[in-house]
Amino acid sequence: MNEMILLKLGELVLKGLNRRSFEDKLQANIHRRLNGLGQFRVYTRQSTTYVEPMNEDCDMDGAWEAMKKVFGVVGLSRARSCDKDKDAILRACQEYLDDRLSTARTFKVETKRADKTFPMTSIQLSQYVGGELDELYPNLKVDVHHPELTVYVEIRDYAAFVHADPEPGAGGLPVGINGRAVSLLSGGIDSPVASYMIAKRGVALEMVHFFSYPYTSPEAKEKVIELARLLTPWCGHLTIHVVPFTAIQEELRRSCPEELFTIIMRRFMMRISQVVAQRVGAKALVTGECLGQVASQTMEAMNVTGAVVDLTVLRPCIGLDKEEIVQISRKIGTYETSILPYEDCCTVFTPRHPRLRPLPGEVELAEEKLDIDAMVKAAVDGIERVRV
């Protein structure tokens, strides 16, 4: 049937001399997402990327679902190609869109003529195809303002394409084009959303999870691994660096003031994550912090926790309220897993009255009795890596 998928490119079409590198990264990501779905030809022309099946064995439904989650694509359509001839275009509309044309009540035809050598203007071709379809389908009535069905015709370099009702794509930039970062992945709602949001800006991710067995259960660890699996359609393959965190938390409980426990714990998380980032070549850390949401997410607290690392700390959820974060988590499919009732290490030894606005000096003073380097090294040496 000559069916293929048309992917409309987003902001990368605005790039200058480096645009080709963005397109190459997008195509590489598309090929990776299509792996196992059949043999496809992927190429880009005139701000559109074409995903063309090479044989009848290709899983077009699977490819369609995969392409909806490729960052860098703002819209996509399943389309049929045909010769650049008005009658061939009309036949393609009849054959490919017959079911929709037979059930719709109102319609219009919208033409885009990228190939300016085509003898008819966009308006002329729309009028011709629309007039013929109006005669062929008695159930249809033309409505150019609020049609139930819009038939799209595109005249491009090598062929014409017909399709209907394009869907929005994932948007953003191709994953990997803006480098690599380490994301601190807990079992909550916020950190998977933060990971999704920063991947949408073209960042490839490595995950760090802090595991405090026996205070946190193996089910809590599996929950986080499942969250990472749910993120892979958006972010690509992920490695979770599972950090044994029990010894550090027990030492903090013995040696540090209770009201500073959470802040000092988070400072250790940042230190360990920076070591992981250095090992994997990442240039930033990503957290799910949201300003004012909990005691450790005041401006003063975030300043103190971020002060122990040299890398940039990216906080994509910082200005969102909880309901906005929940909406995104539902959209990307992580919400139901995030709310499973398995504790994470942040709930272990929670202070009754945490310090809301800690000062750097008092936190550093509280840490003086700790062998920070040895504690960090022991945790890093015990990391378990899980590939999903």
Buried b (16+ CB within 10 A) or exposed e, 339-352: eeebebbbebbebe
Plot region of 281 (φ>0 → left; ψ -120 to 50 → alpha; else → beta): left
Structure tokens at 339: 């709310």
pLDDT at 368: 94
**Phi, psi (5° rounding) for residue 96?**
-85, -30
pLDDT at 1: 53
Where residue 108 falls among pLDDT bands split at 50, 70, 90? very high
CA distance 355 to 298: 10
Please answer whether residues 210 and 247 qualify as being in contact, where contact means their C-beta atoms are separated by less than 8 angstroms.
no
Asked whether the predicted pLDDT for residue 112 surpasses 90, the reply is yes
Structural domains in the chain, CATH included, are 3-170 (3.30.2130.30), 180-387 (3.40.50.620)
Asked whether the predicted pLDDT for residue 221 surpasses 90, the reply is yes
CB atoms within 10 A of CB 227: 28
The DSSP line for 60-99 is HHHHHHHHTT-TTEEEEEEEEEE-SSHHHHHHHHHHHSHH
Which whole-number Å values give the CA distances from 19 to 16, 75, 234, 257, in the listed order?
6, 19, 22, 53
Asked whether the predicted pLDDT for residue 55 surpasses 80, the reply is yes
pLDDT at 77: 96
Which residues are registered as beta bridge partners of 5?
Answer: 51, 78
β-pairing verdict for 167-171 and 73-82: antiparallel
CA angle at residue 261 from 259 to 263, to 5 degrees?
Answer: 100
The pLDDT tens digits of the residues spanning 8-44 come to 998 888 888 889 999 999 999 999 999 999 999 999 9
pLDDT at 15: 86
Asked whether the predicted pLDDT for residue 107 surpasses 80, the reply is yes
pLDDT at 207: 98
Mean pLDDT value across residues 129-145: 96
In the chain, % of residues over pLDDT 70: 99
Please answer whether residues 183 and 286 qualify as being in contact, where contact means their C-beta atoms are separated by less than 8 angstroms.
yes
pLDDT at 316: 97
Q: Average the pLDDT over each of 166-175, 181-190, 336-345 and give the range with the smallest value.
A: 336-345
What H or E segment, with its residue span, contains residue 331?
A: helix 322-332
Q: DSSP letter at 291?
A: T
